[in-house]
Amino acid sequence: MQLDESLQRVLAHKEPIIRRFYDRFLSECPEAERLFAGVDLEKQSLMLTMALIVVEAYSRDSYPAVEHYLHVLGDRHRESGIPRELFTPFRDCLIETIRSSQPDDWDDELTTAWQRALDRATETMFQGYEGEFPF
Protein backbone atom coordinates (compact mmCIF):
# COMPACT_ATOMS: atom_id res chain seq x y z
CA MET A 1 0.00 0.00 0.00
CA GLN A 2 1.19 3.52 -0.82
CA LEU A 3 1.23 6.51 1.52
CA ASP A 4 -1.77 8.21 -0.15
CA GLU A 5 -3.96 5.12 0.25
CA SER A 6 -2.91 4.72 3.88
CA LEU A 7 -3.92 8.36 4.47
CA GLN A 8 -7.27 7.82 2.72
CA ARG A 9 -7.98 4.93 5.07
CA VAL A 10 -7.19 7.12 8.09
CA LEU A 11 -9.64 9.73 6.75
CA ALA A 12 -12.32 7.13 5.97
CA HIS A 13 -12.66 5.92 9.57
CA LYS A 14 -15.90 7.06 11.20
CA GLU A 15 -14.22 7.33 14.59
CA PRO A 16 -10.99 9.31 14.23
CA ILE A 17 -8.34 6.64 14.71
CA ILE A 18 -5.90 9.38 15.67
CA ARG A 19 -7.85 9.73 18.94
CA ARG A 20 -6.26 6.40 19.97
CA PHE A 21 -2.85 7.89 19.24
CA TYR A 22 -3.16 10.44 22.07
CA ASP A 23 -4.06 7.77 24.68
CA ARG A 24 -1.12 5.72 23.52
CA PHE A 25 1.34 8.62 23.29
CA LEU A 26 0.44 10.06 26.69
CA SER A 27 0.87 6.69 28.38
CA GLU A 28 4.16 5.97 26.56
CA CYS A 29 5.61 9.45 26.96
CA PRO A 30 4.86 10.83 30.44
CA GLU A 31 6.79 14.06 29.78
CA ALA A 32 4.17 14.93 27.13
CA GLU A 33 1.33 14.76 29.66
CA ARG A 34 1.81 18.26 31.09
CA LEU A 35 1.93 19.72 27.56
CA PHE A 36 -1.58 18.39 26.85
CA ALA A 37 -3.06 19.41 30.21
CA GLY A 38 -6.43 21.05 29.53
CA VAL A 39 -6.35 20.22 25.79
CA ASP A 40 -9.58 18.81 24.32
CA LEU A 41 -8.23 15.57 22.82
CA GLU A 42 -11.32 15.00 20.65
CA LYS A 43 -10.78 18.31 18.85
CA GLN A 44 -7.01 17.84 18.88
CA SER A 45 -7.44 14.45 17.13
CA LEU A 46 -9.35 16.13 14.33
CA MET A 47 -6.69 18.85 13.99
CA LEU A 48 -3.91 16.27 13.73
CA THR A 49 -5.93 14.12 11.31
CA MET A 50 -6.35 17.16 9.02
CA ALA A 51 -2.66 18.00 9.40
CA LEU A 52 -1.85 14.52 8.02
CA ILE A 53 -3.39 15.65 4.71
CA VAL A 54 -0.86 18.48 4.73
CA VAL A 55 1.99 16.13 5.66
CA GLU A 56 1.15 13.78 2.78
CA ALA A 57 0.78 16.65 0.27
CA TYR A 58 4.11 18.08 1.36
CA SER A 59 5.80 14.70 0.84
CA ARG A 60 4.84 14.98 -2.85
CA ASP A 61 5.69 18.61 -3.53
CA SER A 62 6.94 21.77 -1.78
CA TYR A 63 3.69 23.67 -2.22
CA PRO A 64 4.38 27.22 -0.90
CA ALA A 65 1.02 27.40 0.91
CA VAL A 66 1.76 24.13 2.70
CA GLU A 67 5.25 25.35 3.60
CA HIS A 68 3.78 28.56 5.09
CA TYR A 69 1.27 26.55 7.10
CA LEU A 70 4.04 24.33 8.51
CA HIS A 71 6.11 27.38 9.48
CA VAL A 72 3.13 28.81 11.36
CA LEU A 73 2.41 25.42 12.97
CA GLY A 74 6.04 25.17 14.08
CA ASP A 75 5.90 28.67 15.53
CA ARG A 76 2.78 27.69 17.51
CA HIS A 77 4.49 24.57 18.87
CA ARG A 78 7.51 26.66 19.92
CA GLU A 79 5.17 29.10 21.68
CA SER A 80 3.54 26.13 23.46
CA GLY A 81 6.97 25.00 24.68
CA ILE A 82 7.01 21.67 22.79
CA PRO A 83 10.59 20.32 22.95
CA ARG A 84 12.06 19.20 19.62
CA GLU A 85 13.19 15.90 21.17
CA LEU A 86 9.56 14.79 21.49
CA PHE A 87 8.96 14.85 17.72
CA THR A 88 10.61 11.45 17.12
CA PRO A 89 8.64 9.56 19.82
CA PHE A 90 5.51 11.43 18.59
CA ARG A 91 6.22 10.29 15.00
CA ASP A 92 6.90 6.68 15.92
CA CYS A 93 3.80 6.39 18.11
CA LEU A 94 1.67 8.01 15.38
CA ILE A 95 2.94 5.55 12.75
CA GLU A 96 2.35 2.63 15.13
CA THR A 97 -1.25 3.80 15.69
CA ILE A 98 -1.90 4.03 11.94
CA ARG A 99 -0.20 0.66 11.35
CA SER A 100 -2.33 -1.07 13.96
CA SER A 101 -5.49 0.15 12.18
CA GLN A 102 -4.25 -1.18 8.80
CA PRO A 103 -2.30 -4.32 9.73
CA ASP A 104 -3.16 -6.47 6.70
CA ASP A 105 -1.75 -4.19 4.02
CA TRP A 106 1.23 -2.80 5.91
CA ASP A 107 4.88 -3.31 4.99
CA ASP A 108 8.25 -1.79 5.87
CA GLU A 109 8.15 0.53 2.84
CA LEU A 110 4.99 2.12 4.21
CA THR A 111 6.64 2.68 7.60
CA THR A 112 9.54 4.38 5.78
CA ALA A 113 7.16 6.48 3.65
CA TRP A 114 5.33 7.80 6.77
CA GLN A 115 8.67 8.43 8.53
CA ARG A 116 10.00 10.42 5.56
CA ALA A 117 6.78 12.42 5.20
CA LEU A 118 6.59 13.27 8.91
CA ASP A 119 10.32 14.09 9.09
CA ARG A 120 10.04 16.42 6.10
CA ALA A 121 7.09 18.25 7.67
CA THR A 122 8.90 18.39 11.02
CA GLU A 123 12.00 19.90 9.39
CA THR A 124 9.85 22.73 8.02
CA MET A 125 8.03 23.15 11.37
CA PHE A 126 11.49 23.57 12.95
CA GLN A 127 12.20 26.44 10.53
CA GLY A 128 9.14 28.01 12.16
CA TYR A 129 10.81 27.40 15.55
CA GLU A 130 13.72 29.49 14.25
CA GLY A 131 11.41 32.28 13.07
CA GLU A 132 12.29 31.59 9.44
CA PHE A 133 9.12 32.88 7.85
CA PRO A 134 9.07 33.58 4.15
CA PHE A 135 6.69 36.52 4.64
Residues that bind ligand HEM (CB under 6 A): 32, 35-36, 39, 44, 47-48, 51, 55, 73, 76-77, 80, 82, 86-87, 90, 118, 121-122
Cβ 10 vs Cβ 83: under 8 Å: no
**Cβ at position 38, least distance to ligand HEM in Å:** 8
**Cβ at position 35, least distance to ligand HEM in Å:** 4
- CB-wise, 11 or 39, nearer to ligand HEM? 39
**Cβ at position 21, least distance to ligand HEM in Å:** 11
- CB-wise, 77 or 110, nearer to ligand HEM? 77
Calculate the alpha carbon distances from 101 to 11, 33, 50, 79, 104 in Å: 12, 24, 17, 32, 9
**Cβ at position 61, least distance to ligand HEM in Å:** 17
Calculate the alpha carbon distances from 64 to 19, 30, 118, 135 in Å: 29, 35, 17, 11
Calculate the alpha carbon distances from 96 to 8, 26, 124 in Å: 17, 14, 23
